């Protein structure tokens, strides 16, 4: 079901997945897309995620959700790291409003995964994290903020030519949010990190940094896989199996040690 919700006054597009039968008790699931690479990518960000969330809803018997961050798809507003963090916080609240889950499991690819860590660290509603090809930091953006700003304008992630009001403040956000420190804070809640060993966009070392900071996270390295794990059937199978296990552990914690 396609719908919208508001984040700081901006209307964001979202998709809600529901199981064909009764909703089973347990956490809901939210999937976050990454930062777009090109204009077409910005227009279609997370374009295949609704199908994945519908599949998860049907397989797991829970309510799922995916949405477009500001500046992507048909969502209003312009990209900034703080804005995307706020968007995910409002997305969690929206899912809690349209259903009554026992918490939320956050999934995210690339930048979306890194933002999920930062949000989850400070939000007790988040029960687990599943990350695909996540970034360990935003330092490369912080080093060349004007280059990123121009790129964001070119691909349409920033549509208002007067945005941001302060480039310096916009750029400081790339240092403010630290996924590695957030992963440490998120522990001991469960975290899965998946990464392709042939990812040419985000090095495998980023995944290892996040896993090591958490201390007890699961790391799944996929041989021969590149950056877009969403399209790797092995990654999807691992993710759905992990989600099923996480939802089961929520109500049968003794299973974790059996």
CATH number of the domain where residue 8 is located: 3.40.50.1820
Phi, psi of 75 (to 5 degrees): -70, 145
What pLDDT, on the 0 to 100 scale, is given for residue 254?
44
16 touches 3 (CB < 8 A): yes
Q: Is the peptide bond before 188 cis (omega within 30 degrees of 0)?
A: yes
In this structure, is residue 44 part of a structural domain? Answer: yes
In this structure, is residue 258 part of a structural domain? Answer: no
Nearest-angstrom CA–CA distance, 58 and 76: 30
In this structure, is residue 236 part of a structural domain? Answer: yes
What pLDDT, on the 0 to 100 scale, is given for residue 41?
54
Segments in the chain below pLDDT 50: 253-258
In this structure, is residue 104 part of a structural domain? Answer: yes
What pLDDT, on the 0 to 100 scale, is given for residue 228?
80
In this structure, is residue 40 part of a structural domain? Answer: yes
Nearest-angstrom CA–CA distance, 255 and 258: 5
What pLDDT, on the 0 to 100 scale, is given for residue 132?
95
Domain containing residue 13? 2-253
Nearest-angstrom CA–CA distance, 256 and 112: 28
Closest to 12 in 3D by CA, of 63, 82, 88, 121 = 88
Domain count, the chain: 1
Q: And the tokens for 155?
A: 């691909």
What pLDDT, on the 0 to 100 scale, is given for residue 226?
77
What pLDDT, on the 0 to 100 scale, is given for residue 192?
98
What pLDDT, on the 0 to 100 scale, is given for residue 47?
63
In this structure, is residue 22 part of a structural domain? Answer: yes
230 touches 109 (CB < 8 A): yes
Phi, psi of 136 (to 5 degrees): -85, -20
What pLDDT, on the 0 to 100 scale, is given for residue 258?
36
| CA 204 from centre of chain | 18
Nearest-angstrom CA–CA distance, 69 and 42: 10
pTM given for the model: 0.93
């Amino acid at each position: 079901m396609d719908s919208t919700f508001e984040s700081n006054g901006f209307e964001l597009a979202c998709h809600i997945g529901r199981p064909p039968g009764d909703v089973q008790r347990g956490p809901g699931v939210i999937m976050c897309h990454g930062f777009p690479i090109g204009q077409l990518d910005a227009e279609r960000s997370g374009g295949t995620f609704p199908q994945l969330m519908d599949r998860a809803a049907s397989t797991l018997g829970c309510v799922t959700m995916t949405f477009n961050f500001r500046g992507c798809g048909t969502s209003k507003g312009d990209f900034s790291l703080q804005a995307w963090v706020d968007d995910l916080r409002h997305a969690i609240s929206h899912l809690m409003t349209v259903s009554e889950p026992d918490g939320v499991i956050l999934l995210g690819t690339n930048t979306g995964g890194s933002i999920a860590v930062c949000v989850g660290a400070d939000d007790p509603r988040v029960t687990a994290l599943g990350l695909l090809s996540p970034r360990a930091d935003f330092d490369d953006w912080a080093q060349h903020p004007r280059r990123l700003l121009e790129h964001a304008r070119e691909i349409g992630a920033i549509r208002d030519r007067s945005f941001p009001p302060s480039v310096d403040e916009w750029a400081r956000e790339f240092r403010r949010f630290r996924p590695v420190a957030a992963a440490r804070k998120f522990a001991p809640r469960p975290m899965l990190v998946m990464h392709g060993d042939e990812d040419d966009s985000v090095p495998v070392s980023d995944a290892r940094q996040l896993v090591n900071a958490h201390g007890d996270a699961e790391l799944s390295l996929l041989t021969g896989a590149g950056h877009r794990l969403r399209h790797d059937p092995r990654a999807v199978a691992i993710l759905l199996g992990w989600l099923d296990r996480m939802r089961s552990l929520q109500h049968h914690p003794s299973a974790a040690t059996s």
